[in-house]
């Protein structure tokens, strides 16, 4: 049984994540879209989806939530960041004019266009393989190298390699998922990744936050 809160800060595609979670939830579980700190305190699991630019995302979090309190709450229960919900956990993003992020994971958010072969199509949009670099409850019943759906123009580069949960190759290998304690975050979209995506969401719901 889980009571899941999906953080809505006004710019995510929260509905598709909500629909996918509803598909895998059991009868006794609930899912709520919210931006209230009370809801985040009360729930058992937090999902943080997101699209858009990091700077706007930070502005919106700041506007809707007390960042100090927010960081405290999300250190206490299973947390899943998706796409921008991964990038915003880092120290700094070079998107737009550059923006400080939540600094929960050490590292930067870099532009695909600047770092990789200039002939590559950006955004990195489509299905790609996810190589599991660490054992983790999220990977339950998901084959190593399974395909997930990506849409992004920036990627994360963590300072500490031990935070890398998976890597994916797009001209070069980049971290496609990171983790630390109760926090897991993925660059791809499990809510759009068919059977394997739903399985990952199900694994998250069943996760108690311990590794």
Contacts with another protein, residue ranges (CB under 8 A): 13, 15-16, 19-20, 22-23, 51-52, 120-128, 147, 149, 151, 169-171, 191-194, 197-198
Residues assigned a catalytic role: 83, 189, 191
Residue 36 Cβ, how far from another protein at the closest point, in Å?
21
Nearer to another protein, 37 or 149 (CB): 149
Q: Is the bond leading into 133 cis (omega within 30 degrees of zero)?
A: no
Query: What is the separation of C-alpha 34 from the centre of its chain, rounded to a whole number of angstroms?
Result: 17
Nearer to another protein, 125 or 159 (CB): 125
Nearer to another protein, 22 or 208 (CB): 22
Contact present, 19 and 191 (Cβ < 8 Å): yes
Contact present, 52 and 82 (Cβ < 8 Å): no
Residue 158 Cβ, how far from another protein at the closest point, in Å?
22
Nearer to another protein, 7 or 104 (CB): 7
> What is the secondary structure of 5-59 as a DSSP string?
EEE--SSS-HHHHHHHHHHH--TT-EEEEE--HHHHHH-SEEEE---S-HHHHHH
Residue 113 Cβ, how far from another protein at the closest point, in Å?
9
Q: Give me 108's structure tokens.
A: 């930067």
Residue 48 Cβ, how far from another protein at the closest point, in Å?
17
Q: How many CB atoms lie within 10 A of CB 98?
A: 12
Contact present, 4 and 22 (Cβ < 8 Å): no
């Amino acid at each position: 049984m889980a009571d899941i809160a999906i953080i809505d800060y006004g710019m995510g595609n929260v509905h598709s994540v909500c629909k996918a979670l509803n598909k895998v939830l059991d009868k006794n579980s609930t899912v709520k879209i919210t931006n209230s700190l009370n809801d985040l305190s009360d729930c058992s699991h937090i999902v943080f989806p997101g699209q858009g630019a990091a700077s706007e995302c930070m502005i919106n979090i700041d506007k809707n939530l007390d960042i100090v309190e927010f960081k405290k709450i999300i250190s206490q229960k299973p947390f899943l960041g998706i796409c921008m919900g991964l990038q915003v956990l880092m120290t700094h993003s070079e998107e737009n004019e550059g923006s400080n992020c939540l600094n929960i994971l050490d590292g930067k958010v870099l532009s695909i266009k600047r770092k990789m072969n200039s002939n590559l199509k950006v955004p990195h949009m489509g299905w790609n393989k996810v190589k599991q670099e660490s054992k983790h409850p999220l990977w339950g019943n998901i084959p190593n190298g399974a395909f997930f759906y990506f849409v992004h123009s920036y990627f994360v580069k963590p300072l500490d390699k031990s935070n890398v949960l998976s890597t994916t190759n797009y001209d070069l290998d980049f971290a496609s998922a990171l983790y630390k304690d109760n926090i897991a975050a993925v660059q791809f979209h499990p809510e759009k990744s068919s059977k394997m995506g739903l399985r990952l969401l199900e694994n998250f719901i069943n996760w108690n936050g311990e590794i």
